[in-house]
Amino acid sequence: MKYSVNLNELKINYLNEVEGESLIEFLQLFKMSKKNLHLLFTEKRIKVNRTTVQREYILQKNDEITIQMPIEEIDYAMDKKCAEVVYEDDLVCVVHKDAGIIVHEDDKQKTGTLANQVATYYAQQGYSIPVRYIHRLDEETQGLVLFCKVPLLQPWFDEELMEKRIERTYHAITFNRPSEDEMTIDKRLGRDRHDAKRMRVSSTGKDALTKLKVISHNDMYSLIECKLETGRTHQIRVHLSAIHCPIVNDNLYGRMTKDFDGMGLYAVSLKWTDPFTKEKRIVFDSLLPKIIL
């Protein structure tokens, strides 16, 4: 399949892979809500070959689907700082987050978050779309965050994340060296009953699995690649602390050092699949500091 987005119009064609399926079966592939699917048809915002059709319409490979998406507005207040966009296409943008800011506030009119910076970028580009993040990073973690530019497709990206098909890779600078250069940490995590800000390893907690690989090390520190199989709060930080390799300058689970600036956890790359073309996308964060041990 191929697609294009122009303002609020999404066009999809070259439908070889879905020839013979009904239009509603095709749309359900993208995990759209029942409400949104209902509105597409009742408001006649979906057409095939520029003609309004029923949901049972059987698709042919040369058909062109056109979806008129509702006109929406940027829903977060704009910030003084504009987001630093590392990658962008018609469906998503990938943004660099600095340490010391959070991804979003519940109150969208507050400023100072990454979502506000993205709102500023959207306004500068002339986009009239809401800000929709797909995942989050801890406040002191630097690196890549994925945003969906087509709200109809957010449920698809949400499920891709939940099913572990969006691959997030981190680098961590830790005290000490793991007992093995490659290992998997499979330790359940739960809330610390004595400190609401902290998580801890708990037999009654939620499943949490992190894969580690030592990239380099010296007598004091290690640089470790971490890949998340689950996305629990503070997962990498707690797991590394649990194997006696706490992240440098982590004020909850590690200890401080003047050898590095800020907390040593970086979201270095994102890998996902385009929902229409099925091509793999991989983005690296060139704005992160170079770490050499």
Do strands 142-148 and 265-273 pair parallel, antiparallel, or not at all (unpaired)? parallel
Catalytic annotation on 90? no
Report whether CATH 2.30.130.10 matches the domain 2-68. no
Q: Report the candidate in 205, 269, 216 with the shortest Cα–Cα distance to residue 242.
A: 205
In angstroms, the first-to-last Cα distance of the chain is 45
pLDDT in tens, 19-68: 999 999 999 999 998 999 999 999 999 999 999 999 999 999 999 999 99
Q: Which entry of 138, 186, 219, 250 is annotated as an active-site residue?
A: 138
Provide the pLDDT for residue 134: 97
Q: Enumerate the domain spans of the chain.
A: 2-68, 84-163, 168-267
pLDDT in tens, 257-292: 999 999 999 999 999 999 999 999 999 999 998 888
**pLDDT over 90 at 230, yes or no:** no
Class of domain 84-163: alpha beta
CATH of 168-267, one of 3.30.2350.10, 1.10.1060.10, 3.30.420.480, 3.90.170.10: 3.30.2350.10
Q: Do domains 84-163 and 168-267 have the same CATH topology?
A: yes
Q: Report the candidate in 97, 196, 195, 107 with the shortest Cα–Cα distance to residue 147.
A: 97
- The C-alpha atoms of residue 230 and residue 112 are separated, in whole angstroms, by 28
Instruction: Please list the residues that pair with 270 across neighbouring strands.
Output: 168, 283
Tokens coding 271: 């890998």
